[in-house]
Amino acid sequence: MRTSSPSRLLLALLAALSLIAAACGDSADATDEATTEAATDDAVSDAADAADEAVAETEEAADEAAEAVEGAAASDDREGWPETLRFAVVPSQEEQQQIDQYQPVLDILEEELGIPIEFSFATDYAGVIEAMIAGNLDMAQFGPFSYVIATGNGADIVPIAIGQEGDSPASYRSYGITQAGNDEINSIADFADRNICFVDPGSTSGFLFPSAGLLGEGIDPETGVAGTFAGGHDASALSVANGTCEAGFAYDAMVTARLIAQGDLTGVVDTVEDETISEDSAELKIVWKSPPIPNSPVAIQASFPQSFIDAVTDVYVNEINADRFLADGYCTQEDYDAGECSIAEEGATQYLPVTNELYDGIRFVCEQTGSARCDG
């Protein structure tokens, strides 16, 4: 859009008006009405042409000036920006599935920021935490607990966005699960002395909150169960389903939505609330649910210029959402209408701004469990 100089436009319009007024004054003394009308028309036409020419010149000059200002501002704003943005996510499922899931996010970041994104798949939570502490990563999608571990162990990072599904609260839960046909395990209290699948020592819903749940039943998560770390929420749930573990933990949507949508599970029985799906063919049974956990934060190195942090935050909050995914062809109209145009983990359809204080509750649970994992 062109922006004209107000003073030059005003001069052009005044010139046009003076020409029109002069023509009208001349016409008052004329005796030939036709001659008067012709003179007036010519004057108006000349005035309009003069005004148009002045406006055109003004707009052209304004465009050139605006481009120069914008170029200089862009140059100044991008000072200190990285040439490549190194980005990773904590693992929650099989590598290729997670890469495919995040590709639209990477594409939008590259397009909006104008810099390439170097995406790394981490095999464990510790890899992402340590890389952010060491400055070997620029940005990461953490879990809440892994974010708290990172900030508590020297990572100078800023949380910039948190996923949200529709109008739902920006939170999720940990589910305690066993095989659907297991009649011996009907609550988390029955996990004692069992072979249990956790997800990762840095996982919020796959270790920290399950630890708190076990401690609430008088079960030490380190010694009161035979625990093993499956490495991902999908691996934990599937290990329970196939009998490798007698019971285990995974985040809610992995159990009730993601694995079923992928065809890895056919159904689940919910004994706590009302999320039962295909009861007759279900492989898993939900026997425990944690309190709500704030959704996973995206965090960036605080050493970047504020202009870059603001730019990345703006992309997440205003561009990475279900509307953009639909427009760019990353999800179908049918999925969009059903509210299933998921953009990242936990079924999120948009991102919201987030602050460090949101995770004080995680720090509290960390203190209550007394787990050495809280220290990194």
- What does the pLDDT profile of the chain (376 residues) look like in tens digits? 333 333 333 333 333 333 333 333 444 444 444 443 343 344 434 434 443 444 344 345 444 544 443 443 444 579 999 999 999 998 876 778 778 888 999 999 999 999 999 998 888 899 999 999 999 999 999 999 999 999 999 999 999 999 998 888 889 999 999 999 999 999 999 999 999 999 999 999 999 999 999 999 999 999 999 999 999 999 999 999 999 999 999 999 999 998 999 999 999 999 999 999 999 999 999 999 999 999 999 999 999 999 999 999 999 999 999 999 999 999 999 989 988 888 876 578 899 999 999 999 999 998 888 877 776 5
Residue 65 is assigned to a structural domain of this protein = yes
92 close to 254: Cβ distance less than 8 angstroms: yes
Residue 74 is assigned to a structural domain of this protein = no
Residue 79 is assigned to a structural domain of this protein = no
359 backbone dihedrals φ, ψ, rounded to 5°: -100, 15
Q: Are residues 92 and 111 in the same domain?
A: yes
Residue 322 is assigned to a structural domain of this protein = yes
Write the CATH number for 281.
Answer: 3.40.190.10
Tell me how far apart the alpha carbons of residues 277 and 268 are, in angstroms, rounded to a whole number.
5
Q: Are residues 276 and 337 in the same domain?
A: no
The per-residue pLDDT for 166 is: 83
Q: Are residues 165 and 300 in the same domain?
A: yes
Taking the CA atoms of 244, 246, 250 and 256 in sequence, report the sign of the dihedral they define.
positive
Q: Which of 291, 317, 334 is the last residue of a domain?
A: 291
204 close to 295: Cβ distance less than 8 angstroms: no
Q: Are residues 204 and 306 in the same domain?
A: no
Show Cβ contacts of residue 59 under 8 Å, excluding neighbours closer than 6 positions.
2, 3, 4
Structural domain for 17, as ranges:
6-69
Tell me how far apart the alpha carbons of residues 346 and 252 are, in angstroms, rounded to a whole number.
8
The per-residue pLDDT for 345 is: 62
Helices (H), the chain: 6-29, 33-77, 95-113, 125-134, 144-152, 209-216, 233-241, 252-253, 259-261, 306-318, 322-327, 333-337, 360-369
81 close to 18: Cβ distance less than 8 angstroms: no
Tell me how far apart the alpha carbons of residues 343 and 327 are, in angstroms, rounded to a whole number.
13
Q: Which of 269, 291, 313 is the last residue of a domain?
A: 291
Amino acid at residue number 376: G
Residue 317 is assigned to a structural domain of this protein = yes
Q: Are residues 89 and 146 in the same domain?
A: yes
The per-residue pLDDT for 168 is: 83
Q: Are residues 266 and 346 in the same domain?
A: no
Tokens of 290: 């944690």
- Residues 196-230, buried b or exposed e (16+ Cβ, 10 A)? bbbbbbbbbbbbbbbbbbbbeeebebeebbebebb
Q: Are residues 252 and 181 in the same domain?
A: yes
Q: Which of 291, 308, 341 is the last residue of a domain?
A: 291
- Quote the number of domains for the chain: 3
327 close to 111: Cβ distance less than 8 angstroms: no
Q: Quick check: helix, strand or coil at residue 168?
A: coil
The per-residue pLDDT for 154 is: 93
The per-residue pLDDT for 169 is: 83
Q: Are residues 189 and 108 in the same domain?
A: no
Q: Are residues 346 and 205 in the same domain?
A: no
Q: Are residues 160 and 300 in the same domain?
A: yes
187 close to 288: Cβ distance less than 8 angstroms: yes
